[in-house]
């Protein structure tokens, strides 16, 4: 009997486990255990009363906040790395278990639509790299809220990058909108949080409503207008005025108070129009200008294909290069200058298309049919 007892005492841990009908964890399993010691460089936990597990070195790295500040008596989860190390203990990892738990959390937060805090780590031209709990995530520029969205004249990518860099170190409230552990893809949105906070306010508006606000920013593609309770909408350059303008600053400046009409509501994106609150001057253009009539005009744009000419404050026409001189292959820029006034003849009028064709008065203007079609197409593109 004594000899048998000695043999049993000499049984290693693996043999002892095999001799008992218990739920034996294996490498890769996530186990739960009670912390029995927290020493410098190592945490030991009781593994279901079977053995002691140890977490040390890089496997101790806190992948999730819940692993920070562990104390004796706490219950913790860890992943099995080795059944038995050189000291007869089970080798465990907080790092792997924490990583898995972090992804589980992301998926749950996305499903539940929870708002969480994240910190901006770095930026590139497409957005901001975020620290989200234990994981790294990405927030595209389009997912920033209006306060942080970089509005840059001309859409200069270098200036946008500089603006995004100003966010580094900031803590933001975000929502997880995409979490794919397999591809390690984690996308968060600050705008989604803002949308929720503005939902009740947005629901009080509808397409067609007129709002009054202050011009908050100007870009090459339009003007931003702040109105109501913290709302902001975009007036595209094509919706600022009925006439063609080069840049929103031609008619607006930051700080101007203007009225606009809501033409589209797309979640947090609000699109506005200033020109639709004013009657379309092209509706009555036929009352002012007739085909064949002579008119005075000022050159407002010089292009290789012709001139844009302002007949009045609201109506602009196009004089194709073929209608500028009887001489072939003229250099438009040499013959005409910005601001130059001249007499023209109206050669075509299409009010519904917002197009009016002109010819320099006094020239023969022998334009072939195909050339006329070309004039129409180029006028159409210019209008766009």
Q: Give bridge partners of residue 35 from the DSSP assignment.
A: 45
Chain-centroid distance, C-alpha 37? 47
**Cα–Cα distance measured from residue 380 to residue 384, given in angstroms and rounded to the nearest whole number:** 6
pTM value? Answer: 0.50
Under a CB-based contact definition with an 8 Å cutoff, are residues 113 and 167 in contact?
Answer: no
**Cα–Cα distance measured from residue 144 to residue 232, given in angstroms and rounded to the nearest whole number:** 14
pLDDT at 101 (0 to 100): 81
**Cα–Cα distance measured from residue 272 to residue 234, given in angstroms and rounded to the nearest whole number:** 6
Under a CB-based contact definition with an 8 Å cutoff, are residues 98 and 134 in contact?
Answer: yes
Q: Which of 150-164, 197-211, 226-240, 365-379 has the lowest mean pLDDT?
A: 365-379
User: Using CA of residue 103, residue 104, residue 107, residue 112, what is the dihedral sign?
Assistant: negative
**Which residues are CB-contacts of 63 (< 8 A; sequence separation ≥ 6)?**
94, 95, 97, 98, 99, 101, 102, 134
Q: What is the three-class DSSP state of 50?
A: coil
pLDDT reading at 194 higher than 90:
no
Q: What pLDDT digit, counting tens, does each position of 310-353 carry? A: 998 888 999 999 999 888 888 888 889 999 999 999 999 999 88
Q: What pLDDT digit, counting tens, does each position of 66-75 carry? A: 566 778 888 8
What is the Cβ-side half-sphere exposure of residue 308, based on CA atoms within 13 angstroms?
Answer: 18
Q: Give bridge partners of residue 296 from the DSSP assignment.
A: 343
pLDDT at 365 (0 to 100): 63
Q: What pLDDT digit, counting tens, does each position of 202-228 carry? A: 788 899 999 999 999 888 889 999 998
| Nearest in space to 316 (alpha carbons), one of 362, 250, 220 | 250
């Amino acid at each position: 009997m004594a000899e048998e007892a000695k043999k049993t005492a000499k049984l290693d841990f693996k043999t002892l486990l095999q001799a008992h009908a218990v739920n034996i964890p294996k490498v890769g399993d996530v186990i739960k255990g009670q912390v029995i010691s927290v020493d410098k460089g190592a945490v030991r936990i009781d593994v279901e009363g079977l053995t002691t597990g140890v977490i040390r070195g890089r496997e101790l790295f806190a992948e999730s906040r819940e692993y920070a500040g562990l104390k004796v008596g706490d219950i913790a989860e860890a992943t099995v790395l080795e059944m038995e190390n050189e000291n007869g203990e089970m080798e465990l990892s907080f790092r792997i278990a924490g990583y898995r738990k972090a992804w589980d959390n992301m998926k749950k937060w996305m499903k539940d639509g929870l708002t969480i805090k994240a910190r901006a780590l770095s930026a590139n031209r497409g957005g901001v790299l975020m620290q989200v709990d234990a994981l790294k995530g990405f927030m595209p520029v389009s997912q920033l809220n209006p306060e942080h969205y970089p509005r840059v004249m001309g859409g200069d990518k270098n200036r946008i990058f500089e603006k995004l860099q100003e966010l580094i170190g900031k803590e933001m409230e975000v929502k997880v909108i995409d979490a794919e552990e397999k591809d390690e893809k984690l996308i968060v949105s600050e705008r989604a949080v803002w949308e929720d906070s503005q939902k009740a306010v947005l629901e009080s508006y509808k397409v067609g409503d007129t709002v009054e606000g202050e011009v908050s920013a100007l870009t090459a593609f339009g003007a931003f207008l702040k109105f109501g309770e913290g709302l902001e909408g975009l007036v595209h350059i094509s919706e600022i005025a009925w006439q063609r303008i080069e840049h929103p600053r031609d008619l607006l400046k930051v700080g101007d108070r203007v009225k606009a009409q809501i033409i589209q509501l797309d979640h947090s994106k609000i699109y506005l129009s200033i020109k639709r609150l004013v009657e379309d001057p092209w509706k009555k253009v036929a009352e002012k200008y007739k085909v064949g009539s002579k008119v005075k005009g000022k050159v407002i744009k010089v292009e290789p294909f012709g001139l844009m000419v302002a007949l009045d404050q609201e109506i602009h026409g196009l004089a194709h290069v073929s209608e500028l001189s009887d001489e072939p292959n003229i250099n438009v820029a040499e013959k005409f200058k910005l601001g130059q006034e001249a007499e023209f003849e109206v050669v075509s009028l299409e009010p519904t298309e917002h197009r009016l064709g002109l010819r320099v008065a006094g020239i023969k203007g022998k334009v072939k049919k195909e050339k006329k079609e070309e004039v129409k197409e180029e006028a159409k593109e210019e209008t766009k």
